[in-house]
Amino acid sequence: MIYGKIQELKRNHLNKSQVSQRLGIDYKTVLKYWDMPPDEFAKCLNRAQRRTRRADVYKDYVVSCLQKYPDMSSAQIYDWIKERAGLKNLPFKKRSFRNYVNTIRKEHGIPRPESMRQYEAVEDPPMGEQAQVDMGEISLETTSGRHKKVYGFGMVLSHSRYKYILWQERPWTTADFVQAHIKAFSYFGGRPKQIAYDQDKVLAVSENNGDIILTEGFQNYLNAVGFDMFLCHGADPESKGRIEAVIKYAKYGFAKHRIFSDIDSFNKDCLDWLERTGNAEEHGTTKKIPAEVFAVEKEYLLPVSEYSFAKPTNASITYHVRKDNIVLYKSNRYRVPKGTYTKGKRVYVIPEGDSITIVDVDTGVLYARHTLCTEKGKLIGEASRACRDKSKTILELEHNIKELLGDCEGKTSSFLSRIHREKRRYYRDQLGVIKKIFEEWDAELIQKALIYCVEQELYSAGELSSATAYMSSLEEEKQNKPVLQASQLPEKYRGDSPKVRDLRIYEDAMERRAVNG
């Protein structure tokens, strides 16, 4: 048809550019057919119809997918073929397959429904600076033929576009939201400095003209972990476009049209999809592979706080936090940090050998760990103000801390000065916490942690404590390399040298053999 129209307009004395504009086709296409004789065009058409394409072996499968799911993308069909064939790579490129699918749509009259939403490009933040979080839901067919909603949580690192997706069978609560963060940070191996959120009731009670009021459970978690939070305005796709694209990608690139059996296998398949496709293929905007960029960005992520947020699985009894910030357990009073108490606050008390751990019921935030007392009526734990060293002036305490820390490549003074400037009101408390770190860790480890904190611009005693724990874990990993110990050898192989027999034993044995014939 195109050939015939080109020849007709040519006969009407239109030039090549005018024909290209009139028909809305590329100038090179006009040039190709401009002087081509009809018999040569017939031969080209015949060759094109007889030509086989590499994707033709999957043609029936592609047609069945499009007929069943007209809105299915070529990228998802491409991934499904890889999944069902058990291949990491196919013998044809995704771009050529996209053209192939478009051809199939035209041949079988299966147009794709289109929807459009406008976005505006924003600059990428530096490595380790920001992540974005959002949630979504999708209805899926189950193995029984019914339909079921599943609810997704997504977090994406804004620089590398490295993604994490988690699904569950019920709407998100604050406690679920916190647990999803814990799993995401574990997946990434650290956390960014800032996380951007959409407004959601599991996160925020009210925007309050900038003085944001968070839900209690999430506020506790935020206080413990310490990342910065950015709450997006309503109807503001520019500030959260990356995560909205990720949620859409997960819903329509992975979840849609899958048959749902159970949530555990569904999450496992999703992680496999992230490794195989979601994080392994070139990003359409950055033109980089997220997994490769993340290999560099993960070095810029901050270690997650040493607090344990894992919700107890074996604790069924909860306890009230009393107004004086104590928990009554087996006739003894155990302290929790001042300010823990709120009306109705409940905690788990988890016995662990000779100690107990007190954690929040909703978020799993660790409040305190104490030695278990076998007596009655005792008050266990030190008051929050006990960390203040009132016997010395602040200058004397600062001098002692500097002596403990040493020079640290010239970074000690700047580290303490920054804390004093940003936390002037709590400077004595900060010094007291730093002093307590030396009661638990070696000075050399703390000095390495301080250098790390300055390089990462982390200026607080709490961050120094977290970084020290992180450095300790790195040292343990280096030391825990498998070494063959002497105790692993069987008894008969131990010793400095093998046993040596006297040669006369062998000579006597040979003489007896000769005599006996």
Higher-pLDDT residue of 228 and 140 is: 140
Are the beta carbons of 463 and 430 closer than 8 angstroms? Answer: no
**Both tokens assigned to 235:** 């109807």
User: Domain 130-300 - what CATH class?
Assistant: alpha beta
For range 157-173, the mean pLDDT: 91
Give per-residue pLDDT as tens, 235-252: 455 555 566 678 888 999
Higher-pLDDT residue of 307 and 169 is: 169
Give 387-451 as a DSSP string. Answer: G--TTS-HHHHHHHHHHHH--TTTTHHHHHHHHHHH-GGGHHHHHHHHHHHTTTS-HHHHHHHHH
Residue 291 has pLDDT above 90, yes or no: yes
Residue 83's identity, in one-letter code, is E
Give per-residue pLDDT as tens, 16-41: 988 888 888 888 888 888 988 888 88
Q: pTM for the full model?
A: 0.48
Higher-pLDDT residue of 297 and 493 is: 297
Q: What is the dihedral of CA 214, 216, 220, 226, to 10 degrees?
A: 0
Long-range contacts from 78-87, C-beta under 8 angstroms, 24+ separation: 79/253, 79/254, 79/273, 79/276, 79/277, 82/276, 82/277, 83/276
**Both tokens assigned to 412:** 């000690």
Strand partners of residue 229:
195
For range 56-60, the mean pLDDT: 88
pLDDT band at 388 (very low <50, low <70, confident <90, very high): very low
Domain limits, the chain: 1-45, 52-116, 130-300, 318-379, 387-479
For range 491-496, the mean pLDDT: 53
For range 170-177, the mean pLDDT: 84
Residue 113 has pLDDT above 60, yes or no: yes
SS3 462: helix
Are the beta carbons of 129 and 135 closer than 8 angstroms? Answer: no
Give per-residue pLDDT as tens, 179-203: 888 899 989 999 999 988 876 666 6
Predicted pLDDT of residue 209: 40
Supply the mean pLDDT for the chain. Answer: 81
What order do you get walking across the sheet with 332-335 strand by strand?
326-329, 332-335, 379-380
